[in-house]
Amino acid sequence: MKDIAQGYMTEDGRQIGAVLMELKNITLKFGGVQAITNASFDIREGEIRAIIGPNGAGKSSMLNVINGFYHPQEGEVWFHGKKRPSMPPSEIARQGIARTFQNIALFHGMTTVENVMTGRQLMMKKNFFWQLLRVGPALEEETVHRRKCEEIIDFLEIQAIRKTPVGSLPYGLQKRVELARALAMEPKLLLLDEPMAGMNVEEKEDMSRFILDVNDQYGTTIALIEHDMSVVMDLADRVVVLDYGKMLADGTPDEVQKNQAVIDAYLGVEN
């Protein structure tokens, strides 16, 4: 693998920057079960980074370590060139890490717009007396954030369901609303846990397009978990492969696809 310390150029001509996040020797255990063993990789600015592996490989655990749901027993997480101390996930979200969930975690009682607005939660500073009165600075603030949300809603083509309670939406749209909420946070790093799970071919194509557009238009760094290999090969700039919590490979899609250990893990080893 070539030296990429100062960033690199992708095949489609995008310039990838310096290291945004670095995971160093992460080990995560649940009681006697070792979910992740000594995994190290980095995520660079502007990059689409995929984490793949068979079921139970520790992919979701890895995402949960990055956004702070899990605290690894060993290893360090470096973000923006600084070692990140142990902190609650809400605090990590404040630092600019947004995510979506494998099993969709939306606020079912709220409409699409309200869900997306929760992504602006942290940026709203006016206290609730002003908000109750709906005057002056609070109204202005609400309007500014609302405009941003509408922009994202347009971007993801979900205008038609703006006022619909999300609980009643079909699965594919719910996934899109979840992405909209994460984008509303204007994250530095966006984590997507199986963004295309359970979708049909058409929905998958839509979602792929949105992921590429997000990366392109907002310059958002994206780390995603995906099972569909063809999708991963199309989207990702670099791929980490996990199996039973251990790193099997790390490299471009082409490199990873040719890696013998990866082929063995996916297809089984012939004895």
Partner 1 sequence: MGSFIYSVLGDPFVQMLQMPDFLMQVVWEGFVSGILYALIALGFVLIFKASGIFNFAQGIMVVFSGLTLVGLHELGVPAFLALFITLGVMYVLAFSVERLVLRNLVNQPDIILFMATIGLTNILIGLGQWIFGGETKSMITEQLWLPTGSSVWEPGGGLVIFQHIDIAAAVIAALLIICLALFFSKTKVGRALRAVADDHQASLSVGISLNHIWVITWFAAGIVALVAGIMWGARSDVSFSLQIIALKALPVLVLGGFTSVPGAIVGGLIIGIGEKLFEIYWGPLFGSGIEGWFAYVIALIFLLFRPQGLFGEKIIERV
Q: Quick one: which of 18, 110, 233, 261 contacts partner 1 (CB under 8 A)?
A: 110
Is 127 or 217 the residue whose CB approaches partner 1 more closely?
Answer: 127
Smallest CA-to-CA distance from 157 within 135, 175, 133, 138 is with 175
Contacts of 144 (CB under 8 A, 6+ apart): none
Please tell me whether residue 244 binds partner 1 under the rule CB under 8 A. no
Give me the least distance between CB of 121 and partner 1, in Å please.
6
Please tell me whether residue 260 binds partner 1 under the rule CB under 8 A. no
HSE, side-chain direction, 13 A CA sphere, residue 72: 28
How many angstroms separate the CA atoms of 83 and 146, rounded?
Answer: 34
∠266-1-61 over CA atoms, to 5°? 45
Give me the least distance between CB of 187 and partner 1, in Å please.
10
Give me the least distance between CB of 127 and partner 1, in Å please.
9
Kind of pairing between the strands at 189-193 and 97-99: parallel
Number of residues that bind partner 1 (CB under 8 A): 32
Is 109 or 137 the residue whose CB approaches partner 1 more closely?
Answer: 109
Q: Are the beta carbons of 121 and 181 closer than 8 angstroms?
A: no
Q: How far is Cα of residue 25 from the mean position of the Cα atoms in its chain?
A: 21
128-187 residues near partner 1, rule: CB under 8 A: 128, 131-132, 134, 181-182, 185
Please tell me whether residue 101 binds partner 1 under the rule CB under 8 A. yes
Query: What are residue 110's phi and psi, to 5 degrees?
Result: -105, 160
Query: 237 is written with which tokens?
Result: 């700039």
Q: Quick one: which of 122, 135, 144, 160 contacts partner 1 (CB under 8 A)?
A: 122
Q: Quick one: which of 91, 140, 254, 264 contacts partner 1 (CB under 8 A)?
A: 91
44-73 residues near partner 1, rule: CB under 8 A: 67, 69
Residues constituting the chain: 271
Please tell me whether residue 98 binds partner 1 under the rule CB under 8 A. yes
Is 16 or 169 the residue whose CB approaches partner 1 more closely?
Answer: 169
Is 26 or 185 the residue whose CB approaches partner 1 more closely?
Answer: 185
Please tell me whether residue 121 binds partner 1 under the rule CB under 8 A. yes
Q: How far is Cα of residue 221 from the mean position of the Cα atoms in its chain?
A: 8
Among 2-10, 96-104, 147-155, 262-270, the segment contacting partner 1 (CB under 8 A): 96-104
How many angstroms separate the CA atoms of 264 and 259, rounded?
Answer: 9
How many angstroms separate the CA atoms of 141 and 139, rounded?
Answer: 5
Residues that bind partner 1 (CB under 8 A): 67, 69, 88-91, 93-94, 98-99, 101, 105-110, 114, 117-119, 121-122, 124, 126, 128, 131-132, 134, 181-182, 185
